């Protein structure tokens, strides 16, 4: 039991900053350096920590961001074959409702997005899917539990910088997170040389200092008990002028992990996670009690094929949501 508690304490700190050294962790955790080193290595090698990555702030950089909902009855093997090779997909969920799959895509250019749509169109012609619809975020309020800075400073990036961001998303630091010894290494030999270069280190620091990278964090292979159930929520206020205030308020709810304003029906779109059905009922009821809402649509996630970043505990979620 003590080991499980130590694991949770370590995961909570690494979620807030995955680049913390063992020496620094030993100063803030009630554990010896040797214990931290072993626990961290076990969490990594056993893939309890799935990846060491970062939270991007899309408000600070010129990129294209889309959601795609697809309907049909694809097999898991068809889904994996079609979508896993696409590196720009940042989440992929099987959902219950009118649509069966929800994909989140972040691309460098509109042209690249059209290429991805061409693959989906081909899947529709093969009857893997029967239809799809697209919507896009207009504003980003929160990602991975981290509230985002919404300043007007937007930085253009070139194609090389975009490639650097893609590499860092796989592993933000090989010095802190050594490539696992298995049959599927994260990086090719060429990519490994690139990510260990001094140029990449400077770019990583520059992305962080400019606010393009909001935080260095981790993704977990499985959600914690506090966040066992994942839902998508569309919320339409009674009055459009209330939308921004509702969104800002929802940022401080620890169960709201991702939060956007989208281009469909002047809606707020959110990912929220709860422990169970009672918390879901309580969450939805509180929305109508607190805000002037016209309607809400809630979608249950049946399976997270490509998981998004989310806090490892309600304690960390409350801490991040209060900042």
Q: Considering the domain 141-148+223-321 in this protein, what is its CATH number?
A: 3.30.70.920
Alpha-carbon span 257 to 288, nearest angstrom: 19
Each residue of 87-144: pLDDT tens digit?
A: 999 999 999 988 999 999 999 999 999 999 999 999 998 888 999 999 999 999 999 9
Each residue of 36-92: pLDDT tens digit?
A: 999 999 999 998 999 999 999 999 998 999 999 999 888 888 898 999 899 999 999
Task: Please indicate, yes or no, whether the overall pTM of this predicted structure exceeds 0.85.
Answer: yes
- Which backbone phi and psi does 257 adopt, to 5 degrees? -95, -45
Write out the two tokens for 73: 């009855």
- 139: enclosing H helix or E strand: strand 137-143
Sorted by where each begins, the domain ranges of the chain are 1-46, 141-148+223-321
Whether the CB-CB separation of 35 and 6 falls below 8 Å is answered with: yes
Contacts of 180 (CB under 8 A, 6+ apart): 44, 45, 47, 186
């Amino acid at each position: 039991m003590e080991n499980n508690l130590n694991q949770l304490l370590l995961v909570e700190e690494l979620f807030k900053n995955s680049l913390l050294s063992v020496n620094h962790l030993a100063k803030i955790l009630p554990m010896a350096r040797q214990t931290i080193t072993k626990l961290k290595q076990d969490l990594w090698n056993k893939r309890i920590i799935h990846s060491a990555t970062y939270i991007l702030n899309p408000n600070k950089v010129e990129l294209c961001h889309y959601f795609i909902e697809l309907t049909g009855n694809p097999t898991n093997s068809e889904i994996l074959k079609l979508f896993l090779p696409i590196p720009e997909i940042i989440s992929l969920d099987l959902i219950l409702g009118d649509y069966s799959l929800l994909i989140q895509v972040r691309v460098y250019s509109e042209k690249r997005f059209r290429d991805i749509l061409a693959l989906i169109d081909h899947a529709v012609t093969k009857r893997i899917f029967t239809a799809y619809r697209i919507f896009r975020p207009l504003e980003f309020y929160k990602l991975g539990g981290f509230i985002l800075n919404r300043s007007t400073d937007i930085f253009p990036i070139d194609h090389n910088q975009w490639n650097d961001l893609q590499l860092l998303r796989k592993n933000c630091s090989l010095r802190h997170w050594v490539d696992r010894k298995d049959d599927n290494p994260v990086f090719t030999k060429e990519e490994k040389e690139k990510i260990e270069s001094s140029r990449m280190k400077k770019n990583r620091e520059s992305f962080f200092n400019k606010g393009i990278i909001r935080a260095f964090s981790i993704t977990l292979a499985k959600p914690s008990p506090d966040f066992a159930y994942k839902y998508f929520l569309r919320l339409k206020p009674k009055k459009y002028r209330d939308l921004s205030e509702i969104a800002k308020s929802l940022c401080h709810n620890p169960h709201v992990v991702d939060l956007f304003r989208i281009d469909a029906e002047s809606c707020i779109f959110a990912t929220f996670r709860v422990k169970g059905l009672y918390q879901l009922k309580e969450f939805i009821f509180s929305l109508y009690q607190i805000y002037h809402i016209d309607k809400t649509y809630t979608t249950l996630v049946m399976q997270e094929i490509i998981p998004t970043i989310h806090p490892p505990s309600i304690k960390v979620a409350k801490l991040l949501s209060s900042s």
